[in-house]
């Protein structure tokens, strides 16, 4: 396909793909037969979800190539990023902060990296806007992750190269294969503008993931217009939560979700032993053709109220929270009464 973005072609043809999938795979048994032929090393006798909930995103295994052992630039290097474009940031004690530009994650979705003795997976699913850092250590084994090309509830299904088990990206949980039921440890991290990362670290130092050696139009958004879409891509469930749209962002901490709209209105929320703050200046990567020129979605930080330490969280679309946390708690505040 050359440099043409695989997922972009998929989005343009998603209606056809969805119809083909529905007509061709009428039952979970048919799914298992097809999956088994394509994934001979995956143990389909072990699964925690119905296989008919899993569908093709339109690309094959590794059609969206994960990045392994990325290289980095220092803040003194010439870095071609726009001030408002997003980077996924992680800070680990004793090491320089690292930034992983969304412009690369849009095209690769997973980065397998290591910071000192800690192996990490940087994961981002554009379709549900879930961006999470995970440890790659499971039961004493280091796993390496790739993009399966499959979706469940419009969220990426990852796979590990060691056993070819399937993992739900938004949860970090094994759902099919020998790692079914195992969970990845989520690590604290956040997404902020390149400008914020640079200004905070310019005197003390930081590292920025260098451009991967693939032919991709990095900096361009293959999901142009998705920010304002009416419904999620290849998502068939009814969205039921009142007072919020399915593609509105929510801050997920554990089993709770705070609407970003509420946080923007209040600026700071202190509830359940958690402090949530919002500052403007970060562009949505899913809006305009350029990842650095979209609408202002700002930056969310989540900290422990007592210690001030950063807490693991996610900033995903509301439909994904409802799908993966059906018994979760919605911290709507006054939004229901205002709507």
Distance CA 188, CA 82 (A): 25
* Model pLDDT for residues 272-310, shown as the tens digit of each residue: 999 999 999 999 999 999 999 999 999 999 999 999 999
Residue 251 lies in a domain: yes
84 inside domain: no
Range of the domain at 313: 226-338
Task: Give residue-wise pLDDT tens across range 79-122.
Answer: 999 999 999 999 999 999 999 999 999 999 999 999 999 999 99
The Cα angle at residue 251 between residues 245 and 256, in degrees rounded to 5: 95
Any domain includes 127: no
Kindly state whether residue 293 falls inside one of the protein's structural domains.
Answer: yes
The whole-number pLDDT of residue 339 equals: 60
Residue 159 lies in a domain: no
pLDDT tops 80 at residue 4: no
Closest by CA position to 329, among listed 232, 255, 271, 224: 255
Task: Report the pLDDT value the prediction gives residue 29, as an integer from 0 to 100.
Answer: 56
Residue 322 falls within a domain, yes or no?
yes
Contact between residue 304 and residue 296 where contact means Cβ atoms under 8 Å apart: no
Total number of domains constituting the chain: 1
Q: Is residue 43 part of a domain?
A: no
For residues 286 and 247, what is the distance between their CA atoms, to the nearest angstrom?
A: 11
Measured CA to CA in angstroms, residue 271 lies from 188, 254, 303 at distances of 19, 13, 11
Global pTM? 0.91
Q: Do 69 and 113 touch, CB atoms closer than 8 A?
A: yes
How does residue 19 score in pLDDT terms, banded at 50, 70 and 90? very low
For residue range 43-88, what is the model confidence (pLDDT) as tens digits? 999 999 999 999 999 999 999 999 999 999 999 999 999 999 999 9
Rounded Cα–Cα distance for residues 27 and 17 (Å): 17
Q: Residue 333 corresponds to which tokens in the numbers above?
A: 């505040």
Cα–Cα distance measured from residue 284 to residue 221, given in angstroms and rounded to the nearest whole number: 10
Torsion over CA: 165, 169, 174, 176 (sign): negative
Q: What percent of the chain has pLDDT over 90?
A: 87
Contact criterion met (CB below 8 Å) for 130 and 313: no
d(CA 41, CA 261): 44
146-171 average pLDDT score: 98
3-class SS at 98?
strand
Please work out, in degrees rounded to the nearest 5, the angle formed at the alpha carbon of residue 43 by the alpha carbons of 41 and 47: 140
Residue 180 inside a domain? The answer is: no
What gap in Å lies between CA 192 and CA 157, rounded to an integer? 25
How many CB atoms lie under 10 A from the CB of residue 220?
A: 16
């Amino acid at each position: 396909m050359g440099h043409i973005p695989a997922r972009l072609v998929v989005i343009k043809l998603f209606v056809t793909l969805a119809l083909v999938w529905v007509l061709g795979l009428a039952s979970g048994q048919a799914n298992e037969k097809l999956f088994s032929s394509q994934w001979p090393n995956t143990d389909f006798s072990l699964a925690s979800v119905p296989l008919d909930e899993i569908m093709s995103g339109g690309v094959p295994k590794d059609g969206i190539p994960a990045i392994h052992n990325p290289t980095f630039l220092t803040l003194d290097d010439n870095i071609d990023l726009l001030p408002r474009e997003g980077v996924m940031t992680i800070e680990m004690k004793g090491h320089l902060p690292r930034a992983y530009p969304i412009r690369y994650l849009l095209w690769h979705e997973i980065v397998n990296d290591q910071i000192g003795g800690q192996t990490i997976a940087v994961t981002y699913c554009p379709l549900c806007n879930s961006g999470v850092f995970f440890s790659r250590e499971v039961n004493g084994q280091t796993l390496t992750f790739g993009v399966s090309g499959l979706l469940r509830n419009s969220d990426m299904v990852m796979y590990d190269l060691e056993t070819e088990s399937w993992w739900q990206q938004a949860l970090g949980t094994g759902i099919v294969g020998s790692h079914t039921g195992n969970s990845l440890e989520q690590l604290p991290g956040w997404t902020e503008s390149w400008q914020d990362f640079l200004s905070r670290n310019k005197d003390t130092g930081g590292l920025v993931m260098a451009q991967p050696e693939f032919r991709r139009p990095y900096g361009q958004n293959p999901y142009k217009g998705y920010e304002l879409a009416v419904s999620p891509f290849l998502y068939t469930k009814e969205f039921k939560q009142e007072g919020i749209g399915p593609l509105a962002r929510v801050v997920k901490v554990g089993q709770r979700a705070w609407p970003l709209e509420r946080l923007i209105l209040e600026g700071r929320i202190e509830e359940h032993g958690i402090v949530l703050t919002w500052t403007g200046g970060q562009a949505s990567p899913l809006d305009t053709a350029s990842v650095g020129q979209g609408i202002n979605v700002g930056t969310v930080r989540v900290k422990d109220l007592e210690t001030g330490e950063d807490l693991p969280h996610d900033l995903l679309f509301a439909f994904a929270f409802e799908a993966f946390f059906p018994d979760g708690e919605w911290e709507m505040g006054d939004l229901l009464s205002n709507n």
